[in-house]
């Protein structure tokens, strides 16, 4: 008689972390599978990257996009802030800086979903009223023991009442986004679908208008009262592809977020010269600059 298979004989089981801990509504957009503390303010986070994704895997399924690394590192910081630093789930995180550099050779899609590990170190941890008020963390993304990316992130954390004051009464239910203008040709910005194009023409090749489609299932995974940072970084990605159409692809993002970008006012994306293969991208709304990003490019 065959004995029942014991749990110890079973293969390792994998599940994503609770989606609420990474501020995602869709389980399909939750990339993290676990974490552990490795020391004082030091952690390791487990990840699984899908072999196909509408935005973050190349149309030919051969390469992971560096913005998948950005989203993964963002989720890791959010997870640890909630799970290890006891930030309540109703608190909001405000990005201030996000710097990431990737290793192109380590972003190839293989025959199985990639399962990198991220090592994170939190520094400059600040508290207010017994709660985490902000921090900086560095992250190293390792794939099969080899570095695939490094990142440095700074953020603040605010409670519901402070957030309401910051937003001046704006909420997903009270703010209506402007009509979405026609987008650029998808091929011009290395996109397969017109719905994934986030830039519109203006008549000036160095200035584009941001297309904010609140129905987009990835950028607006859940209702928001402002333009999300990942949409701004995608705008920087597409702007860099316009400036570097000669085989250079984005591999690094050094971004500064100065204030919220509002849904109900036009947003302009200016493409400026950088150093060498870098492209400087600036987001403005009204008279204010709210976003700056230096995009590093290289031959894939």
Query: Measuring CA to CA, which residue among 192, 226, 193 is closest to residue 210?
Result: 226
- The pLDDT > 90 percentage for the chain reads 88
Asked if 244 and 279 touch (Cβ cutoff 8 Å), the reply is yes
Q: Who wins on pLDDT, 264 or 9? A: 264
pLDDT at 245: 73
Report CA Rg, the chain.
20
Enumerate the β-bridge partners of residue 121: 42, 138
Whether the per-residue pLDDT at 89 is higher than 70: the answer is yes
pLDDT at 129: 86
Rounded Cα distance, 207 and 26, in Å: 33
pLDDT at 12: 64
Residue 257 structure tokens:
């977020």
Rounded Cα distance, 224 and 191, in Å: 24
| Mean pLDDT, residues 264-278 | 89
**169 — pLDDT class (breaks 50, 70, 90):** confident
pLDDT at 261: 97
Over the stretch 181-231, which tens digit does the pLDDT of each residue have?
Answer: 999 999 999 999 999 999 999 999 999 999 999 999 999 999 999 999 999
Q: Sheet harboring 92-102: ordered strands across?
A: 32-39, 42-47, 117-128, 131-143, 146-158, 92-102, 248-257, 288-299, 279-285, 268-273, 207-210, 199-200
Over the stretch 186-200, which tens digit does the pLDDT of each residue have?
Answer: 999 999 999 999 999
Alpha helices in the chain (DSSP H): 66-83, 160-167, 229-243
**Phi/psi at 121 (5° precision):** -130, 120
Asked if 158 and 152 touch (Cβ cutoff 8 Å), the reply is no
């Amino acid at each position: 008689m065959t004995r029942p298979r014991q749990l110890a004989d079973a293969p390792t089981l994998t599940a994503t972390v609770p989606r609420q801990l990474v501020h995602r509504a869709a389980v399909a957009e939750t990339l993290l599978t676990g974490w552990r503390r490795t020391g004082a303010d030091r952690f390791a986070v487990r990840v699984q990257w899908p072999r196909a994704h509408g935005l973050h895997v190349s149309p030919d399924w051969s390469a992971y996009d560096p913005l998948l690394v950005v989203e993964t590192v963002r989720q890791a910081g959010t997870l640890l802030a909630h799970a290890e630093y006891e930030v309540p789930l109703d608190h909001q995180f405000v990005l201030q800086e996000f710097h990431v550099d990737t290793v192109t050779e380590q972003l190839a899609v293989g025959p199985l979903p990639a399962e990198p590990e991220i090592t994170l170190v939190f520094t400059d941890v600040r508290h207010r009223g017994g709660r985490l008020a902000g921090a900086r963390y560095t992250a190293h993304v390792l794939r099969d023991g080899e570095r695939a990316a490094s990142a440095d992130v700074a953020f603040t954390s605010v409670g519901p009442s402070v957030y309401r004051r910051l937003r001046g009464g704006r909420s997903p239910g009270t703010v209506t986004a402007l009509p979405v203008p026609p987008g650029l040709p998808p091929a011009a910005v290395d996109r397969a679908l017109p719905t994934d194009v986030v830039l519109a023409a203006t008549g000036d090749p160095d200035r584009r208008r941001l297309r904010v489609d609140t129905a987009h299932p990835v950028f607006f995974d859940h209702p928001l009262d402002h333009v999300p940072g990942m949409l701004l970084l995608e705008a920087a990605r597409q702007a860099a592809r316009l400036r570097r159409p000669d085989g250079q692809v984005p591999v690094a993002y050094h971004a500064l977020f100065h204030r919220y970008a509002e849904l109900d006012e036009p947003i302009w994306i200016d493409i400026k010269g950088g150093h060498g293969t870098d492209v400087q991208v600036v987001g403005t709304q009204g008279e204010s600059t709210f976003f700056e990003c230096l995009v590093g490019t290289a031959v894939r």
